[in-house]
């Protein structure tokens, strides 16, 4: 549904309906929750629905069907399959050890739903990053209000139609609207808020959540470095980097944001990078702009933002090693590699979120560590190297949400791994059991089976003081 009123009355009604239904969904069985996810899976296996989603994403991005399937649909099918396989185990009470001081009791953790969850999804992977958190919110027994990004309007409309068909509105509500709608939603006392977007807006979401002490998951971003060490197979390293940087036209939160290349292989890497760009997007010499495999920047505002970063870098001495073509009428930016980059350039301070790659060189590992350490902790960190000592030193001396060695983006594809940032790049973890826990309250339960603690009840005396000391120091 679409909310157009400027009052909060409609939103309050939607919220109250979700809150009432949450008392029922919180008690649903494993089978009931899996059945809900099976409906979603079945919908996505219908060819006509796949075609409709491809059409929507092409209208928003000019996104190729291969990228739609690989980044928007297959990831969701994989996550549903993972939940179906594991939900029974996740939902089961987890018995924990009982210390000797609590003899006569048993303890366990019960995973209960949080209640009503708000999902504010982004525009860069508008289907995937809307539906993935929804899967885990449903798996944990919550009701959901989902607001997809208005910047990917065609995909948002597809999501609205799909979920309206699959679920009752008091279980899953989709609201289409702009940023003002998001602001009004954030005034409501949701039990949990799941936001994917920029650190700047993440701070706004967190401040709003604090008014109701709502828990939050913030999937943000940042400047994820790609380190190329001399022992890496340079041609292969460049090829992988070009793919990861330009998948979805660089509009990926875990895309490599800037390059740190060992000086002795910088020239070789540059040539291999240029060659990979041509091989991927201009194999028949018809021009990258004519490639059906190269999508576009989401809107003119983001186009101009990236162009401003590029212009600032050029004005401060950066050199174009590849690309550098901008066409605002098509929102086209060619795959661009910049050399002679310095830290005073805005492109080394702000997340790029587009197909422009600044490259710096280094002579030793200490330079790499210092560059990374001086920036906010990134969402992802990439290392191309065959030198295990180099790899281990990078890992031990830096911090990031995730790390991928000798490839890119793969951390998002393993549901057994936690996915998320650190501080400025995010709070909370997604994927698999980690997402289930994020949408759940871990309720600690202690049951007295026999015995009592009456021997330390007041009034106190010397014997009780000695007994408490014995329990504290001798039995712990």
- Backbone dihedral angles phi then psi of residue 472, each to the nearest 5 degrees: -75, -40
Exposure string for 288-325, b = 16+ CB within 10 A, e = fewer: beeeeebbbbbeeebbebbbebbebbbeeebebbbbbe
Residue appearing with tokens 């919908």: 43
Residues with Cβ < 8 Å from 239, sequence gap 6 or more?
A: 272, 276, 279
Give the active site residue among 67, 72, 176, 219: 219
Closest CA relative to residue 153, chosen from 181, 182, 178: 178
CA 87 – CA 415 distance, rounded (Å): 13
Give the active site residue among 117, 241, 253, 295: 253
Write the secondary structure of 5-58 as one string of H (helix), E (strand) and C (coil): CCCCHHHHHHHHHHHHHHHHHCCCCHHHHHHHHHHHHHHHCCHHHHHHHHHHHH
Say if residues 326 and 333 touch (Cβ distance below 8 Å).
yes
CA 118 – CA 308 distance, rounded (Å): 34
* Helices and strands counted in the chain (H then E): 16, 18
CA 206 – CA 18 distance, rounded (Å): 22
Catalytic status, residue 253 = yes
Say if residues 347 and 221 touch (Cβ distance below 8 Å).
no
Say if residues 81 and 42 touch (Cβ distance below 8 Å).
no
Catalytic status, residue 295 = no
Q: C-alpha distances in angstroms, 36 versus 114, 140, 145?
A: 18, 12, 16
Instruction: Note the helical H segments in 219-299.
Output: 234-246, 266-281
CA 268 – CA 150 distance, rounded (Å): 43
Query: For the residues of 180-223, what is the DSSP string, one character each?
Result: HHHHHHTTS--SEEEEES-HHHHHHHHHHHHTTT-EEEEE----
Say if residues 34 and 87 touch (Cβ distance below 8 Å).
yes
Catalytic residues: 219, 253
């Amino acid at each position: 549904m679409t909310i157009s009123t400027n009052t909060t009355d409609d939103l309050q009604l939607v919220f109250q309906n979700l809150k009432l239904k949450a008392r029922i969904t919180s008690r649903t069985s494993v089978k009931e929750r899996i059945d809900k996810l099976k409906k979603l899976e079945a919908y996505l296996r219908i060819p006509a629905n796949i075609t409709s989603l491809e059409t929507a994403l092409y209208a928003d991005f000019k996104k190729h069907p291969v990228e739609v399937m690989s980044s928007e649909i297959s990831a969701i099918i994989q996550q549903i399959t993972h939940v179906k396989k594991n939900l029974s185990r996740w939902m089961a009470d987890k018995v924990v050890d009982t210390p000797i001081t609590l003899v006569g009791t048993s303890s366990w953790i019960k995973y209960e739903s949080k209640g009503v969850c708000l999902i504010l999804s982004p525009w860069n992977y508008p289907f995937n990053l809307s539906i993935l958190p929804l899967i885990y919110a449903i798996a944990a027994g919550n009701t959901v209000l989902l607001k997809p990004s208005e910047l990917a309007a065609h995909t948002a409309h597809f999501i609205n139609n799909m979920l309206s068909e699959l679920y009752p509105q008091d279980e899953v509500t989709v609201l289409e609207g702009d940023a003002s709608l998001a602001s009004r939603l954030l005034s409501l006392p949701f039990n949990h808020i799941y936001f994917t977007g920029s650190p700047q807006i993440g701070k706004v979401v967190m401040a709003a959540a604090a008014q109701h002490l709502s828990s939050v998951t913030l999937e943000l971003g940042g400047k994820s470095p790609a380190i190329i060490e001399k022992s890496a197979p340079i041609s292969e390293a460049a090829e992988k980097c070009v793919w990861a940087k330009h998948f979805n036209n660089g509009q990926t939160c875990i895309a490599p944001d800037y390059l740190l290349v060992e000086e002795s292989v910088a020239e070789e890497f540059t040539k291999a990078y240029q060659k990979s760009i041509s091989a991927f997007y201009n194999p028949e010499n018809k021009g990258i702009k004519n490639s059906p495999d190269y999508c576009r920047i989401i809107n003119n505002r983001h186009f101009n933002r990236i162009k401003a970063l590029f212009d600032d870098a050029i004005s401060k001495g950066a050199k174009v090693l590849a690309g550098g073509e901008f066409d605002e009428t098509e929102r086209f930016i060619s795959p661009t590699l910049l050399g002679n980059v310095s830290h005073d350039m805005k492109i080394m301070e702000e997340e790029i979120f587009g197909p422009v790659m600044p490259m710096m060189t280094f002579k030793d590992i200490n330079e790499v560590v210092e560059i990374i350490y001086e920036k906010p902790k990134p969402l992802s960190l990439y290392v191309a190297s065959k030198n295990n000592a180099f790899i281990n030193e990078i890992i031990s001396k830096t911090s990031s949400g995730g790390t991928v060695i000798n490839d890119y983006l793969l951390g998002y594809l393993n549901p057994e791994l936690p996915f998320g940032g650190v501080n400025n790049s995010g709070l909370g973890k997604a994927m698999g059991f980690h997402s289930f826990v994020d949408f759940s309250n871990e309720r600690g339960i202690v049951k007295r089976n026999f015995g009592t603690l009456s021997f330390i009840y007041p009034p106190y005396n010397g014997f009780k003081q000695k007994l408490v000391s014995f329990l504290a120091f001798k039995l712990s």
